[in-house]
Chain A
């Protein structure tokens, strides 16, 4: 059976700068993979290539055996959810309205039913009481949980998280990680770019250390964190002071 997600020698350059220089990794359903690495190592680009917010130059990415470049881009994005560092909530819509937009416009679900699904997903991230609040009325942690609910409601096969807690005040990070931990336990397949080493340690099946556009090291968290093979990995983890 094909892997749910497979990168095959993916290259991406922005101008003269090679951001991804031959990435080949794969993950299966229910896997949680955390990608770590210094800033500028290509982590976010890697993620954005999956749903083609960034169109990669060479190589291939396959979702369940099918090349993403051969798929209709909107159909691809319908199957792959994304949670952003900066939340990117629709400022003019309530929390519920943020979740229903994709349901009514992409999945063609009638309004009443969309509302029900939205409320269900807001409950899932602990925000039932905030369904009618606008983004500007929510805390950062609440905003990010709306972002997660918005992605979940589309029933994606894979969820991408692009540094979901990096824009949050320290005291708000826990509530978001808690929701993500819950999703992992429910069996959601997640590809997460994060600096949260505690989360990576306890939730990830695999941790990938990306450095300068290549996979420098990859393995189960206990191995990568406790017994890194590469000096570069050790150095990076040392800088993080874990």
Chain B
């Protein structure tokens, strides 16, 4: 196969169609935020149940986690899309609020992708939180119990605030992974960033611009990852517990 050289004309093609990639970016951000949120809401309690729970509930949480972590994400997305009877919400209109032409995406593909990415993320986030909870010295919980706090209150006021802080580095990794894995929604035709890039270079005028389009798409993923990681670094520093050592 011949390689495709970078050409000024192809960069110009990317330039004139930038808004198509921006629409894809919009969907990518939506999918990332939705999945991470779902992952947090299910993963944090999941991690706590793995540490403090007992009996069948803990077994179920553990089992589901193992299953989700042990399945390729593309399999999960396809399975959730074709195997789950999602309500037919039709096409979801987007873009009205942005200086972008309004567009529509497949609602069921959005639901299935968010659920698959979100639950898979929950399975990983639960492990981040589990480790963070375990790292909090048991004695603090005991001290909280000794002044009369119930176990739930002690966990909430003593363990959770510290465990959340310690989860930030692990959560940064998870964010990076989820952001990039949203591109796998390509498999069910959701119009996220990579899918929109694909649409561009399959047009007759874009056929020589494959490399330029993919480089642009990767640059967008990179910038997004970089900025968010810097932001989370700041959050971590902002909420760091003073150690008394000069930093």
Residues of A with Cβ closer than 8 Å to B? 51, 53, 74-75, 77-78, 81-82, 84, 86-92, 101-102, 105-106, 133-134, 136-138, 147, 150-151, 154
Pairwise interchain contact B148-A84, C-beta atoms closer than 8 A: no
CB of A161 to closest CB in B, whole Å: 12
Q: How far is the CB of B158 from chain A (nearest CB, A)?
A: 5
Q: Does B203 contact A (CB under 8 A)?
A: no
Min C-beta distance of A49 to chain B, whole Å = 13
Q: Decide: B144 and A81 in contact? CB cutoff 8 A.
A: no
Complex Cα spacing A240 to B161, Å: 43
Asked if B16 is at the interface of the complex by the 8 Å CB criterion, the answer is no
Q: Is there contact, CB below 8 Å, between A78 and B147?
A: yes
Judge whether A106 and B140 touch: CB under 8 Å: no
- Contact: B146 with A53, CB < 8 Å? yes
| Chain A residues whose CB sits within 8 angstroms of the CB of B241 once the complex forms | 91-92, 134, 136
Q: Contact between A102 and B142 (Cβ–Cβ < 8 Å)?
A: no
Q: What residue in chain B is nearest A134 (Cβ atoms)?
A: B242
Contact A92 B165 (CB under 8 A): yes
CA A147 to CA B150, docked complex, whole Å = 19
Known interface pairs A88-B139, A137-B244. Does A101 touch B162 (Cβ–Cβ under 8 Å)?
Answer: no
A86 vs B142: C-alpha distance when bound (angstroms): 11
- Given A89-B143, A106-B147, 11 more A-B residue pairs with CB atoms under 8 Å apart are A53-B146, A75-B148, A77-B145, A88-B142, A88-B143, A90-B144, A102-B149, A133-B242, A134-B241, A136-B241, A154-B148
Complex interface: chain A residues within 8 A of B142 (CB): 53, 84, 88
- Check A136 against B243 for contact (C-beta < 8 Å): yes
Q: Chain A residues near B145: list those with CB within 8 A.
A: 53, 77
Complex-state Cα separation, A86 to B147, whole angstroms: 16
Is there a chain A Cβ closer than 8 Å to B233's Cβ? no
**B161 → chain A closest CB, angstroms:** 5
Chain B contact residues (Cβ within 8 angstroms of A): what range?
20 to 34
Knowing A134-B242, A136-B242, A137-B243, the reply to whether A101 touches B146 (Cβ < 8 A) is: no
CB distance from B226 to the nearest CB of A (A): 29
Chain A hits for B157, CB < 8 A: 90, 101, 105
Distance from A122 Cβ to chain B, minimum over Cβ atoms (Å): 15
Distance (Å) between the CB of B149 and the closest chain A CB?
A: 6
Q: With an 8 A cutoff between CB atoms, is B2 at the interface?
A: no
Is residue B137 contacting chain A, with contact meaning CB distance below 8 A?
Answer: yes
> What is the CA–CA distance of A192 and B135 in the complex, to the nearest angstrom?
30
Q: Which of B111-166 contact A (CB under 8 A)?
A: 137, 139-140, 142-150, 153, 157-158, 161-162, 165
Interface CB pairs A-B, < 8 A, 7: A88-B139, A88-B143, A92-B158, A101-B157, A136-B241, A137-B244, A151-B146
Assess A134 versus B146: contact at CB under 8 Å? Given A90-B140, A90-B158, A91-B162.
no
User: Which of B140, B149, B150, B158 has most chain A Cβ within 10 Å?
Assistant: B140
B139, B149, B161: the one contacting A74 at CB < 8 Å is B149
Judge whether A81 and B147 touch: CB under 8 Å: yes
By a CB distance below 8 angstroms, the chain A residues around B243 are 134, 136-137
A-contacting residues, B192-247, CB 8 Å: 241-244
The answer, among A51, A87, A105, A136, for a CB contact under 8 Å with B146, is A51
Query: A134, A136, A151: which contacts B147 (Cβ < 8 A)?
Result: A151
**How far is A53 from B143 in the complex, measured between Cα atoms in Å?**
10
Q: A88-B143, A92-B241 are in contact. Are A77 and B148 (CB under 8 A)?
A: yes
Contacts of A51 in B (CB 8 A): 146
